[in-house]
Structure 1
Amino acid sequence: MIISCPHCQTRYRVAFEAIGSAGRKVQCAHCHQAWQQAPLPAAGEAMGDDRLFEAMDEDALDDAMEAEALVAAPASGGFVAPVPGPLPAAPDAAEMKKRQVAYSRRRHAMSSRQPLARVRRAARVVGAVLLAALLCGAYFGRVPLVERYPDLAGLYEAAGLGVNVVGLDFAGLETLRTLSNGRDVLMVSAQIVGRASRPVPVPPVVVSLLDASGRAVYEWSVAPRVRDLMAGERATFDTRLSLPPSEAVRVRLSFAGAGRAGLSDPSVDLPAGPAAMPEAGEPY
């Protein structure tokens, strides 16, 4: 018996029993298309007698059975099993990455339009503004902050932002050693500079003589000639000491009763001179 694929016209030789009297669904081995094959007339009916295999030899019967096994082999549910084809090619890695990036962008765009995402963005903006305002206030208001909370002076010092709560500073520190009546005399002079926008009382100036280890070996105070200074104003002071200690190698200035917050007390090396014990410290 010959059947023909209605899609590609490929012809197959099959036995009557392969199709049966009720017909069945078959699949083309060439184009892989399936169709419902109508029942074929028996060989005897087509020829007008009851002969079925008289015109077919044994080889032809074998060919028919082989074609039946390849083309119309029954499968579960009455369907012919599909002929296996080549596996699909694996997707390209670059294409997969491109698809993942596009998917991530679409997902992010969708999530960013959600109400909760908008609330998070607003909270981040408000937090950034508050932090900036706090930092600006801590920077520009550091002087009143340290005046109210002196312990913050160390924090500002660590950040490299010295806070001058005294409102005064030193400039132009100079020393001179000379002989007066055969005795060694140390002369110290400097300027007091106003730093505050308001008048600031000028406290006494403490002059300290330091040894090589930085320890004070002798100190005395000098009362300045001016009572107060403000930003841009300067006052000069000088003092002298007869027979300074021989172990003194540096001189340092500081304000009496003032903390060290924001102040870098100036110091300079003493010039060389004859060694002797001090007799008195006399303001000049």
Structure 2
Amino acid sequence: MILTCPACSAQYMVSAETIGEQGRAVRCAKCKHEWVQKSEKDSLDELISRIQSVEIDEIGFEDHLTSNIKEEEQTGLFTRLKEFISGYRSRLKFWLDRKAINFKSRLHLDKKTFGGIAAAAIAFSVLLSAILLTHNKISHNFPQTEPIFEALGLKKAEEVASTPNPEENLAFDRLEISKGEGTTKLSGMLLNLSKQEVPVPIISVVLLDKDSHEIYNRDLDLGQPTIGSEDRIDFQIDLGTDVPDAARKLTIRFTSLPLPEENHGEDG
């Protein structure tokens, strides 16, 4: 609340709690005047009573001197009331702003906390899904985790041995056809691109003429049942004497896996 010295009109801002509900004696720091300051409630009631007691309707009907006196009293009264209300409003605004800042701070903190919890929940869900989908591989590499997955109702699936696909793991390189001494020979390399042993299939050798018409076809066995991990087979095959002179293009493809030894015969 605002205290105004009755002697020199000096003003001071003090808290209502300092004055108290019963009021207290105060002294002006400027002129050393002492007076009893009423509580904020009593001061407000007094001001309201004084305002209500002013006979505003009678102003103008008094003589000039009386009117001036009343105007001065009224002006001073309204000034004090305005100062009191301004001070009260300033304190009220200060506390409201402080409450608003605290609320915004808490709201910002709550949003950050919620965002962190949501992000952690999403990350945990992704991690859990990855673990559940790959629990077979995890159990295979870390056998000690099997009881944990079994407790969750996830048993390790039986591993089924699968035969590597030759077309996906094997490739030919440095293929050449050469003629000499009345015969045609095919030479080259068969490469295993995988990290596991792969069965060597029967290969089909196809020769095409300049118009890409097939003029020769023969199935051949490279003579080796399997090829090791990242290994290679160097081969040279005699295609015989019946290779047409019109052959211009060579195509090699896999046909099937080798036949059992007792059922397999060489082409004449």
Q: Under a length normalisation based on structure 2, what TM-score does the superposition of the two structures give? A: 0.42
Q: Per chain length, whose mean CA-contact separation is higher, i.e. which structure has more relative contact order (CA < 8 Å, sep 6+)?
A: 1
Q: Under a length normalisation based on structure 1, what TM-score does the superposition of the two structures give? A: 0.41
